[in-house]
Amino acid sequence: MNLFKKPWTLGPLLILVSYGIARVQTKPRLLVATQTASETLAGYATQDWYLLESFDYEKQIIPETLKAALNKPTALPGYGVPLGGNYDAITEFLLVPNELACIHVPPPPPHLIVHVRLASPASMKQIRGPIWVKANLELKATVSEEYGSASYFMQDAIWEPYKD
């Protein structure tokens, strides 16, 4: 049977193919440090999520490359998930690697979440979308938050918009 001679038979086939493609689960893209170091990133080592992902939080194994990056000025790109209800003056948020990591789906694993405390408050409108967060990157005992558990911490952090 030639499907192209009877075009009405293509409909069910296309629906099945579309359904199969939609069901394929892909790993969300991690935001990586592709931005070239600007003057505002000067003094900070730009890192990406693949380095943070290398920490085995279940066995507490820290690779040497990660050890070398800890407790040093770090610039990390990501997306903020605010903690607390005042969206005009956010002081704490969880930094996650992609825009799909939110509270409506299971959160990322702890080694892909950074608990951030800002040096000065920002509004949700300001930190919406991808941002750079700059501070010393610390590895802490995994802390459970309402929106996920974090293995990393950045205190007195400053932020700026992420640009491709």
Tokens of 90: 């956010």
pLDDT in tens, 9-52: 545 544 444 433 333 333 445 555 554 444 457 789 999 899 99
CATH classification code of 39-161: 2.40.50.870
pLDDT for the residue numbered 18? 40
What residues of the chain score a pLDDT lower than 50?
Answer: 8, 10, 13-28, 35-39
Element (H, E) at 114: strand 114-122
3-state secondary structure of 93: strand
As a whole number of angstroms, the distance between CA 106 and CA 13 comes to: 33
DSSP 89: S
Element (H, E) at 94: strand 90-96
Do the beta carbons of residue 121 and residue 156 sit within 8 Å?
Answer: no
Kindly report the pTM of this predicted structure: 0.75
